[in-house]
């Protein structure tokens, strides 16, 4: 079956032309400029393929291992550089899941795997995060969903859209559950690096032999346009299968993305970028938290990590209608409705994007609309 559009992408398509004046939905740190990297780039660099490896630039693969704390657990040969975490998820899913297989994913969560599973005619089971309990992932419920037919479990950590974290202990327990039936476990870490309530969680590729870590430079580093991400897995066949599928789609990585991402992940540069992003983001997150606390028609569980969270609208306010009115004149403010995650009474709020997002302006317009509702 062909891949069908998801509500989240439909909303983005419908609103691309809207030209908003403010954003309350940015999910990534303020993007650096090309000029920030020029001193570290070689003008004589060839724009051919990297000429070194079909897995991706070796130096970049080592940086990926180091930034994830995987040194000593995984090697650079366990890494495939991909066009973002999105391609990493795609390659892993398509090579692992066959029609009729059972997969488990979370709701609310990143919809990519559910969309692919439907097209693949795999059976999807959803583990429901518990809003009353701060969007906790109920591990007992997950355990009950797992059967001998479970081929793959896909989770995000930190979770998109709630910013909830899984701890090292949670991850070990989930790996044990998966191991009992030989299931693969993808943990998408695209939002890792900006944790507010705990240290960054360990990567699953270092915990479980059938664990696949996916990630990218898109979110905490704001480098989404580079289209550079990765997949890490200790299973040599899985890694080779990903390379084989990639050879038949995008073939190889874009060398500019690889080279700039390698510079961005150099330890000094990475720690400064994360420090800056943390400083700016936490201040904005506190501001948003105060706003939501003082707004009687909104409530939320403040995200434990990352730049986005889900807010609940008071009863009777439809998230879709609200997001569309807020985007229209005179408010011209963008946010993502909860329907993108199957929740009609919620909206996704985000604090990324830096000053150009004009969050303050967006929130004041949102208050005007809420007051009229
Ligand atoms: C959980 C999750 N995974 C993957 C992606 C895709 O990210 P990338 O730009 O690395 O492909 C996103 C983008 O929003 C995301 O939220």
SS3 273: helix
| CA separation, residue 314 to residues 109, 129, 347, 352, 369 (Å) | 22, 20, 11, 25, 13
Ligand 1 binding pocket includes 216 (Cβ within 6 Å): yes
Q: Which one, of 249, 112, 89, lies nearest residue 184 by Cα?
A: 89
- Please report whether residue 2 resides in a domain: no
One domain, residues 51 and 173: yes
Q: Is the CB of 156 under 6 A from ligand 1?
A: yes
Q: What is the mean pLDDT of the chain?
A: 96
Do 14 and 47 reside in the same domain of the chain? Answer: no
Flag whether 163 is in a domain.
Answer: yes
346 Cβ neighbours under 8 A, 6+ residues apart: 310, 311, 312, 313, 319, 337, 338
pLDDT, residue 225, reads 96
Cβ-proximal residues to 161 (8 Å cutoff; 6+ apart), any chain: 108, 109, 308, 309, 310, 336, 340, 341, 348
* CA dist., res. 335 & res. 150, Å (int): 35
| Residues 11, 59 within the same domain | no
- Percent of the chain exceeding pLDDT 70 equals 100
Q: Is a pLDDT exceeding 90 seen at residue 351?
A: no
- Name the residue with the closest Cα to ligand 1, atom 6: 86
111 CB less than 6 Å from ligand 1?
A: no
Residue 27 has pLDDT above 90, yes or no: no
* Mean pLDDT on 253-281: 96
Among 267, 292, 308, the domain-final residue is 267
Index of the ligand 1 atom closest to the CA of residue 227: 9
Mutate which of 12, 85, 216, 250 for ligand 1 pocket (most atoms within 8 A of beta carbon)? 85
Mean pLDDT, rounded, for 308-335: 96
Q: Ligand 1 center to residue 85 CA distance, Å?
A: 6
- Are 184 and 329 part of one and the same domain? no
Which of 252, 267, 282 is the endpoint of a domain? 267
CB neighbourhood size of 147 (10 A): 11
Q: Compute CA distances 21 → 207, 231, 286, whole Å.
A: 45, 36, 22
Share of the chain above pLDDT 90, in %: 92
367 within domain boundaries: yes
Total domains in the chain come to 2
Tell me the per-residue pLDDT of 219-256, one tens digit each, with 9 for 90 and over. Answer: 999 999 999 999 999 999 999 999 999 999 999 999 99
Q: Do 216 and 277 sit in the same domain of this protein? A: no
In a domain, 44, yes or no: yes
Answer whether residue 17 shows pLDDT above 90: no
pTM across the whole model: 0.97
> In this structure, are 280 and 251 located in the same domain?
no
Domain that holds residue 221: 34-267
Ligand 1 centre and the CA of 77: distance in Å? Answer: 23
Mean pLDDT throughout 77-82?
98
Report, as an integer, the average pLDDT of 139-150. 98
Angle, CA of 78, 84 and 89, to the nearest 5°: 65
- The closest alpha carbon to 320, from 348, 349, 344, 350, belongs to 344
- One domain, residues 90 and 159: yes
Q: Where do we find the tokens 């229209």?
A: 328
Residue 335 reports pLDDT greater than 90: yes
Do 161 and 236 lie in one domain? The reply is yes
Query: Is 1 inside any structural domain?
Result: no
| Residue finishing a domain among 234, 267, 300 | 267
Check if 229 has its Cβ closer than 6 Å to any atom of ligand 1. yes
Q: Within a domain: residue 112? A: yes
Q: What CATH number has the domain bearing residue 180?
A: 3.40.640.10
Are residues 142 and 128 in contact, defined by beta-carbon separation less than 8 angstroms? no
- Is residue 221 within 6 Å of ligand 1 at its C-beta? no
Query: Among residues 123, 133, 132, 129, which one has the least CA distance to residue 142?
Result: 129
Specify the CATH number for the domain of residue 309: 3.90.1150.10
Q: Note whether 276 and 259 are same-domain residues.
A: no
Ligand 1: centre distance to CA 103 (Å): 19
Q: Are residues 329 and 355 in the same domain?
A: yes
Q: Residue 343 falls within a domain, yes or no?
A: yes
Q: What is the DSSP letter of 311?
A: E
Q: Which atom of ligand 1 is nearest to the CA of 217?
A: 10
Is the minimum distance from the CB of 262 to ligand 1 under 6 angstroms?
no
Query: Counting runs of H as helices and runs of E as strands, what totals does the chain give?
Result: 11, 14
> How many beta carbons lie within 10 A of that of residue 90, not counting itself?
22
Asked, for residue 67, whether it belongs to a domain, the answer is yes
Mean pLDDT, residues 131-160 taken together: 98
Residues 139 and 102 in one domain: yes
Is 287's pLDDT higher than 90? Answer: yes
pLDDT at 186 over 90: yes
Q: Locate 264 and state its tokens.
A: 């961005």
pLDDT recorded at residue 177: 98
Give distance in angstroms: CA of 87 to centre of ligand 1: 9
276 with 153, same domain: the answer is: no
Q: How far is the centre of ligand 1, averaged over its atoms, from the C-alpha of 239 (Å)? A: 20
Nearest-atom number in ligand 1 for the CA of 87 is 11
């Amino acid at each position: 079956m062909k891949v069908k559009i998801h509500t989240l992408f439909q909303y983005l398509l419908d609103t691309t032309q809207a030209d908003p004046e403010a954003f309350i939905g940015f999910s990534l740190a303020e993007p650096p400029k090309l000029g920030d990297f020029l001193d570290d780039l070689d003008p004589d660099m060839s724009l051919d393929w990297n000429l070194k490896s079909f897995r991706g630039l070796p130096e970049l693969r080592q940086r990926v291992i180091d930034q994830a704390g995987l040194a000593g657990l995984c090697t650079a040969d366990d890494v495939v550089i991909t066009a973002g975490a999105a391609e990493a998820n795609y390659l892993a899913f398509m090579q692992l899941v066959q029609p009729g297989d059972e997969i488990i994913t979370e709701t609310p969560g990143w919809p990519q795997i559910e969309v692919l599973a439907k097209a693949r005619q795999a059976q999807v089971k959803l583990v429901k995060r518990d809003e009353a309990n701060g969007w906790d992932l109920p591990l007992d419920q997950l355990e009950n969903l797992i059967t001998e037919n479970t081929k793959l479990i896909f989770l995000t950590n930190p979770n998109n859209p709630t910013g909830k974290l899984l701890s090292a202990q949670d991850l070990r327990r989930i790996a044990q559950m998966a191991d009992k039936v030989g299931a693969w476990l993808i943990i998408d870490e695209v939002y890792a690096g900006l944790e507010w309530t705990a240290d960054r969680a360990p990567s699953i590729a270092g915990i479980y032999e059938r664990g696949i870590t996916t990630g990218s430079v898109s979110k905490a580093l704001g480098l989404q346009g580079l289209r550079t991400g990765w997949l890490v897995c200790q299973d040599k066949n899985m890694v080779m299968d990903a390379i084989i599928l990639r050879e038949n789609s995008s073939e190889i990585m874009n060398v500019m993305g690889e080279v700039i991402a390698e510079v961005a992940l150099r330890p000094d540069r990475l720690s400064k970028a994360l420090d800056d992003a943390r400083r700016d983001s936490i201040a904005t997150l506190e501001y948003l938290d105060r706003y939501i606390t003082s707004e009687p028609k909104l409530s939320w569980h403040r995200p434990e990590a990352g730049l986005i969270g889900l807010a609940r609208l008071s009863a009777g306010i439809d998230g879709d209608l609200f997001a569309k009115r807020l985007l229209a004149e005179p408010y011209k403010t963008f946010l993502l409705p909860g329907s993108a995650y199957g929740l009609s009474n919620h909206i996704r709020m985000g604090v990324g994007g830096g000053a150009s997002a004009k969050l303050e302006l967006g929130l004041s317009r949102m208050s005007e609309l809420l007051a009229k509702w």
